[in-house]
Amino acid sequence: MLIALALNQSIDDLRHLNRPRNLEDFNYEDEEMTRIFNYNVRHVEFTGISGLMKTNTTRDRKGQKLIISQYVDQRRNLILSFDENGENSSRFEIGIKWAGNFIPVDGKTYRNEIVLIGSWNRIVILTLTSFGIVLALVFLFINIRYRKERAIKMTSPIMNTFMLTGGILMYASVHYICTSVGFTLGMGTLCLKTYRVYAIFKNSNKGVKINLTDRVLVRCVFALAAIDLAMICVWILVDPLFILDMGLEAQFDTTEPEKEIYTIPVLRQCQSTYKAHFVVFLVLTKVLLLVVGVFLAGKTRNVHYAALNDSKHIGASVYLIAIVAVVTVAVFAISSQNLNTQFTFIGLAMVITTSIVLCKIFVLLKTLPSNLAEN
């Protein structure tokens, strides 16, 4: 209404210019027409529904009162009256009535929610890993307590200690450093013991002296672990990890649908720029270790000294690790956005695989003291 009246009053003023013009001749570069429009806007006065209507020098509304009212059931309810000077303002007891008895929102609201691992998932995995660590410690105690018994002495107690230490690290793996070093200690020790058996029996008829004492094998184990640690240190120094928040598909909150709240699940991941490269390198070193283990297991499969020959254990371990790896990849592909499923499955896979390997080596072969005397 204000603009229409201002334009209407401007028609006569435009005709009396040195160069008469119509409203249709307006363009933004015409300063004379702009000046006339501004003048008439400031001087328009009319009486509207809420009272006298006019504008001030800043072209803001200038009237006696601003009245807010609402029609409910064909009846007008006064909600608020406001004086521009702040005087005689009043708010009536009757408030605005909203359909559905709630205030409608002006749009969707999005809020982030960090996805956390469930308490029961943590409890289950923590309980299983604790049992696994206790089991490895029991094996370690038997290995040290009966290290002078012939059955255990032949299997090299110090190498068994490294193998069990690797198992404990696998149980407690919360970072690549534990998983990588733990696997290297466990499988590396098993492969080195088998290599010594392979070297001895390969050269048994040649009269060649094999200098593969426990001290030499321990150095080799330390060397393998040092490669892992060096690679991880380079990773940490060159390509530090950072937290990456990955937002998933927004989910509508059905508890309060009138508020139109959408929750965005956010997965927090440890990432680095070249993480894939370092992980691939570490995985390849483990695959190479498995390949060497399979080769040595094949070469020593005909050795009939059960206390010395770990070829069957290596073969079973490789098959088990391969099956678990394939299933793990499939599960991760299916549940790429389900943190609880991934955490629980990888935890169970770690505990079950490590426990089976340790039990197969230390229970079925030579762990119980009652069997040591018989051996």
Residue 150: half-sphere exposure toward Cβ, Cα within 13 Å: 6
Rounded to two decimals, the pTM is: 0.64
Residue 200 lies in a domain: yes
Query: Which of 69, 103, 137 is a domain's end point?
Result: 103
pLDDT number for residue 374? 47
Residue 334 has pLDDT above 80, yes or no: no
Query: Which of 103, 126, 156 is a domain's end point?
Result: 103
- Report percent pLDDT > 70 for the chain: 81
Residue 157 lies in a domain: yes
- Domain identity same for 177 and 293: yes
Residue 262 has pLDDT above 90, yes or no: yes
Where do the H-state alpha helices sit in the chain?
Answer: 2-15, 31-42, 119-145, 150-153, 157-171, 176-202, 214-238, 275-299, 311-334, 339-362, 369-374
- Domain identity same for 298 and 359: yes
Domain count, the chain: 2
- Domain identity same for 203 and 333: yes
d(CA 19, CA 223): 97
Residue 374 lies in a domain: no
- Domain identity same for 97 and 122: no
**Residue 32 domain boundaries:** 2-103
pLDDT number for residue 83? 67
Residue 256 lies in a domain: no
Query: Which of 62, 77, 103 is a domain's end point?
Result: 103
- Domain identity same for 21 and 57: yes
Return the higher-pLDDT residue of 154 and 24. 24
- Domain identity same for 333 and 277: yes
Residue 342 has pLDDT above 60, yes or no: yes
Residue 110 lies in a domain: no
- Report percent pLDDT > 90 for the chain: 6
Residue 255 lies in a domain: no
Residue 50 has pLDDT above 60, yes or no: no
**What residues have CB less than 8 Å from 263, skipping those under 6 apart?**
110, 111, 112, 113, 250, 251, 253
What are 52's strand-pairing partners? 47
Residue 113 lies in a domain: no
- Domain identity same for 158 and 20: no
Q: What is the mean pLDDT of residues 244-269?
A: 87
Tens digits of residue pLDDT in 165-177: 888 888 887 556 6
